[in-house]
Structure formats: C-alpha cells, structure tokens
Amino acid sequence: DTGVSQDPRHKITKRGQNVTFRCDPISEHNRLYWYRQTLGQGPEFLTYFQNEAQLEKSRLLSDRFSAERPKGSFSTLEIQRTEQGDSAMYLCASSRRDIGKGYTFGSGTRLTVV
C-alpha cells in the first residue's frame, strides 16, 4: 500500500491558463474522489468515479472543470481558463466500494492562480 499520490504538489499559473492534475489511487481501490479545499474550510466534494465511470458530479464542478479516469486506474482533473477563485487545494482520495475503513486521501495539489 503506497498510498494515494498526487502530482504536482504545487502549481502556480496565470489566470486564463489551463492546468491538469494527476492522481494515482491505491491500486486495489475502485473508487476515486476529487475534493477542493479553500483556506479555513473543510474539503468540498467535486466528483467521484467507480472504476472508469464518473458517477456523480457536484454543482461546484463548472463546465471549465473536467475529470477523467480512462482505465479505471489514475485520474486527471483539468481546469480550463483558470480564474483566481480556482485557487485552492485539490485533494484526491480513493476507497474500496465498501468504504468501511473510509477514504485514503492524497496530500493534495495546491493551485495558485495569479
């Protein structure tokens, strides 16, 4: 169990640019989740996958956001035309279908839009 890996750890981008983050879940976990966290707040749910199928998306996930998990393994989260309000920590988590022992979160990608 090598944990959930996220890359990059930090990203600074100019407003209007596109960014892509990657998440590698625990290999035997078939569920993968993306959350966003702003300063002083708890993480907010964005979307989740079961295997390669994206089964739920939050209304927070505007049309500038897209997430994929093409082979049911790693996932990418892309933000197009970034805005300053997108600055946040983006967290990925994975779990088995039965979340009895909860999620395992990665350390996150901190995005700063300047």
Partner 1 sequence: DAKTTQPPSMDCAEGRAANLPCNHSTISGNEYVYWYRQIHSQGPQYIIHGLKNNETNEMASLIITEDRKSSTLILPHATLRDTAVYYCIVTGGGNKLTFGTGTQLKVEL
* Per CB under 8 A, 41 contacts partner 1: yes
* Per CB under 8 A, 112 contacts partner 1: no
* Per CB under 8 A, 1 contacts partner 1: no
The Cα 13–Cα 55 span in angstroms is 29
Residue 98's Cα: distance from chain center in Å?
20
* Per CB under 8 A, 33 contacts partner 1: yes
Closer CB to partner 1, 58 or 80, in the complex? 58
Q: C-alpha distances in angstroms, 19 versus 29, 81, 88, 100? A: 26, 8, 13, 33
Options 11, 48, 77, 94; binder of partner 1; rule CB under 8 A: 48
* Per CB under 8 A, 45 contacts partner 1: yes
* Per CB under 8 A, 91 contacts partner 1: yes
By DSSP bridging, strand 88-95 and strand 104-105 are antiparallel
Other CB atoms within 10 A of residue 47 CB: 21
* Per CB under 8 A, 59 contacts partner 1: no
Give the Cα-Cα-Cα angle 57, 36, 84 (nearest 5 degrees): 110
Closer CB to partner 1, 47 or 82, in the complex? 47
Note the residues at the interface with partner 1 (CB under 8 A): 4, 31, 33, 40-45, 48, 55-56, 91, 93, 98-108
